[in-house]
Amino acid sequence: MLRVARGLTGTTASGEELVQETWMAVIKGLDGFQGRSSLKGWVYSILKNKARTTARRDARVTPFSALGPEEADRPVASERYTAGGSWAQPIGTWEVDSPESLLLAQEGQAVVQRALEALPERQRIVVVMRDGEGLSAHEVAAVLELSEANVRVLLHRGRSRVRRALAEHLLGER
């Protein structure tokens, strides 16, 4: 949750504060929790609402507007494909056979962490919630008040950027 809170607020200190406020609200509100959503999803909606309140107060609201993909958002650099949509320059093979060995190989973990920190805010929030915290896409959409389609786009772009950061690190591939 701390990572999500930091993702939402942008700083470590604000993230910690947000987590504390959230837990207090959770404790107060637990009696009234009716179990219609998952507990995790409910906690995250409190987190998100508090972040939104703070952000409004600090005039740091980021609109979740959908934009077209930048080149960096693409899973693979455009020039690797022919005009017809086939591979001109196929991507290289990663010589790892599991996420664990990926993280261990050549400081893979540091690369992933840096890549996450470098993501545009909305992509980072979605990737951390979905892949880091294991929320379902439906829960992420509910918490962030986005459509599932929008969540999927942000997830795709965020994962694409992390993949390319790893490809560059592992293979020097751009």
Partner 1 sequence: MFPGIPTCVEVSQEVTDYLEGDLPAWRRALTRMHLLGCSACRELVRQFTLVKGAVAGVPPAADDALAQDTRQDLLAHFAGGAPDEPDP
Q: Which residues sit at the interface with partner 1, rule CB under 8 A?
A: 2-3, 12, 16, 74-76, 81, 84-87, 90-91, 93-94, 96, 98-100, 102-103, 108-109, 112-113, 116, 127-128, 131-132, 134, 137, 152, 155-156, 159, 162-163, 166-167
CB of 35 to partner 1, least distance (A): 26
Of 29 and 75, the one with the shorter C-beta distance to partner 1 is 75
Of 26 and 133, the one with the shorter C-beta distance to partner 1 is 133
Distance in angstroms (rounded) separating the CA atoms of residues 74 and 93: 18
CB of 82 to partner 1, least distance (A): 9
CB of 108 to partner 1, least distance (A): 7
Q: For residue 171, give the nearest of 54, 76, 84 by alpha carbon.
A: 76
Of 35 and 134, the one with the shorter C-beta distance to partner 1 is 134
Cα separation values, 67 from 30, 70, 122, Å: 38, 9, 11
Of 51 and 135, the one with the shorter C-beta distance to partner 1 is 135
CB of 103 to partner 1, least distance (A): 6
Could you tell me which residues come within 8 angstroms of residue 40 by beta carbon, excluding any fewer than 6 positions away?
A: 135, 139
Could you tell me which residues come within 8 angstroms of residue 50 by beta carbon, excluding any fewer than 6 positions away?
A: 18, 21, 22, 25
**Coil, strand or helix at 34:** coil
